[in-house]
């Protein structure tokens, strides 16, 4: 019989980190979500070589006070959830308190942060989960995370990474989604020194879409604005003539969170039925807002899936919202001109 023993803390940390940090894109997602929760209005994401040796996220959000900095890197340490009642209505993107612990377990992290009330900022270093320094630093209000040499201590995970280009594209996709989720924030993305995305942050979804996709795509969009049974749906869908060969440009955001939702996808495609040829798919950037208590976001550590207390109102709001937008488009312009 093999003997049972409790895993050494460092080993347990590496295992837990594996659930949250799969690749550079997961690091980018967690760090950007934190900037949103911190109330930032401008966020810059920079990567070198796909984000593996270097990934930096800078925000102008609330920053952290010195005594909170080491705590932020402890597992299950969060400023966003107090008690179990809070889990029933999560309104922040983060809530698990394990992203920073996970990232720091598998990389070298340098953090610079300052709140509006502090004169001096803090520079904090942590590598493989071990604190390596904490000192005064001059810096702007907000927070900068630099993550270097991701998976330097987990060669097994490192082996599964794809080519730099592929990993870089995945990071780019994460920033695109966050930019579409938060048109009120100005996002910049720099890849090997070259700026590939810059959204205005003027709270106009169409301008964010224009920055993320092409002018041509933006021109082929129909607005959606609908509310049914407490579920609000707004955003844009592609005109049937501007359909796509796959679903890669279907974006659904629930309460500001990018998620893969089969319910929303099926509802939208059902509304498009009869308007599209077989093998063609609609594109969309649709925001769906419903009571925080009506969704469970605590399904998986990656927070990419959610569960609804009741699927039906979500399905119906998306279906009728899209259908109404398509019908408006169908109305001949002669009718539209009549008073």
For position 144 contacting Mg ion by CB under 5 A, the verdict is no
In this chain, which of 18, 41, 70, 95 binds ligand ADP, going by CB under 6 A? 95
Tokens describing residue 162: 């794809």
For position 98 contacting ligand ADP by CB under 6 A, the verdict is yes
Rounded to whole angstroms, the Cα distance separating 63 from 121 reads 9
* Closest residue to ligand ADP, based on beta-carbon distance: 94
For position 61 contacting Mg ion by CB under 5 A, the verdict is no
From 21-29, 96-104, 231-239, 322-330, give the range in contact with ligand ADP by CB under 6 A.
Answer: 96-104
Please give the torsion angle defined by the CA atoms of residues 263, 268, 273 and 275, in that order, rounded to the nearest 10 degrees. Answer: -160
For position 213 contacting ligand ADP by CB under 6 A, the verdict is no
For position 38 contacting ligand ADP by CB under 6 A, the verdict is yes
Phi first, then psi, for residue 312 (nearest 5°) are: -55, -50
C-beta of residue 324 within 8 angstroms of C-beta of residue 226: yes
| DSSP structural state of residue 241 | G
Binding-site partner at residue 72 among ligand ADP, Mg ion, none, CB < 5 to 8 Å by type? ligand ADP
Rounded to whole angstroms, the Cα distance separating 233 from 151 reads 40
For position 100 contacting ligand ADP by CB under 6 A, the verdict is yes
| Minimum separation from the CB atom of position 110 to ligand ADP (A) | 13
For position 325 contacting ligand ADP by CB under 6 A, the verdict is no
Query: 42: which strand partners?
Result: 186
In this chain, which of 56, 96, 182, 303 binds ligand ADP, going by CB under 6 A? 96
In this chain, which of 20, 99, 211, 322 binds Mg ion, going by CB under 5 A? 99
Rounded to whole angstroms, the Cα distance separating 240 from 54 reads 41
Binding-site partner at residue 62 among Mg ion, ligand ADP, none, CB < 5 to 8 Å by type? ligand ADP
| Minimum separation from the CB atom of position 258 to Mg ion (A) | 14
Nearer to ligand ADP, 26 or 34 (CB): 34
For position 61 contacting ligand ADP by CB under 6 A, the verdict is yes
Binding-site partner at residue 100 among ligand ADP, Mg ion, none, CB < 5 to 8 Å by type? ligand ADP
The answer for residues whose C-beta is within 8 angstroms of residue 313's C-beta and 6 or more apart is 228, 229, 230, 231, 290
From 62-70, 160-168, 199-207, 210-218, give the range in contact with ligand ADP by CB under 6 A.
Answer: 62-70
Rounded to whole angstroms, the Cα distance separating 151 from 157 reads 7
Contact code string over 169-188 relative to ligand ADP, x by CB under 6 A: --------------------
Nearer to ligand ADP, 35 or 154 (CB): 35
C-beta of residue 204 within 8 angstroms of C-beta of residue 286: no
C-beta of residue 314 within 8 angstroms of C-beta of residue 290: yes
| Minimum separation from the CB atom of position 241 to Mg ion (A) | 41
3-state secondary structure of 12: helix
Binding-site partner at residue 178 among ligand ADP, Mg ion, none, CB < 5 to 8 Å by type? none
Tokens describing residue 259: 């998620």
The answer for residues whose C-beta is within 8 angstroms of residue 10's C-beta and 6 or more apart is 105, 128, 129
Binding-site partner at residue 282 among Mg ion, ligand ADP, none, CB < 5 to 8 Å by type? none
Widest Cα–Cα separation across the chain: 85
In this structure, the strands spanning 42-48 and 186-191 are parallel
Residues of this chain that bind ligand ADP (CB under 6 A): 30, 34-35, 38, 59, 61-64, 72, 77-80, 94-100, 143
């Amino acid at each position: 019989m093999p003997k049972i023993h409790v895993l050494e803390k460092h080993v347990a940390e590496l295992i837990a980190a594996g659930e949250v940090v799969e690749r550079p894109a997961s690091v980018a997602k967690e760090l950007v979500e934190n900037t949103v929760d911190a109330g930032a209005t401008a966020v810059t994401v920079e990567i070198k070589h796909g984000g593996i040796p270097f990934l930096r996220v800078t925000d102008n959000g609330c920053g952290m006070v010195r005594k909170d900095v080491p705590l932020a890197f402890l597992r299950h340490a969060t400023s966003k959830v107090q008690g179990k009642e809070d889990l029933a209505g999560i309104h922040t993107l983060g809530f698990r308190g394990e992203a920073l612990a996970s990232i720091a377990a598998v990389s070298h992290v340098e953090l610079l942060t300052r709140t509006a009330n502090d004169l001096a900022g803090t520079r904090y270093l942590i590598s493989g989960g071990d604190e390596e320094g904490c000192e005064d630093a001059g810096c702007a209000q907000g927070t900068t995370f630099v993550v270097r040499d991701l998976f330097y201590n987990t060669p097994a995970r490192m082996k599964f990474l794809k080519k730099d280009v592929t990993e870089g594209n995945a990071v780019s996709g994460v920033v695109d989604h966050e930019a579409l989720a938060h048109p009120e924030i100005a996002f910049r993305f720099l890849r090997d020194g070259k700026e590939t995305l810059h959204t205005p942050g003027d709270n106009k979804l169409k301008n964010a879409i224009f920055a993320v996709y092409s002018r041509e795509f933006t021109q082929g969009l129909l607005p959606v604005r609908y509310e049914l049974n407490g579920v609000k749906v707004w955003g844009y869908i592609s005109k049937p003539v501007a359909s796509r060969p796959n679903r890669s440009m279907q974006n659904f955001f629930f309460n500001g969170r990018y998620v893969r939702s089969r319910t929303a996808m099926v509802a939208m495609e059902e509304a498009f039925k009869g308007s599209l040829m077989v093998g063609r798919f609609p594109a969309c950037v649709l925001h769906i807002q419903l009571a925080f208590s009506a969704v469970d976001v605590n399904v998986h550590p990656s927070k990419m899936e959610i569960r609804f207390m009741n699927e039906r109102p979500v399905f119906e709001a998306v279906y009728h919202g899209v259908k109404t937008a398509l019908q408006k488009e169908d109305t001949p312009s002669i009718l539209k001109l009549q008073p």
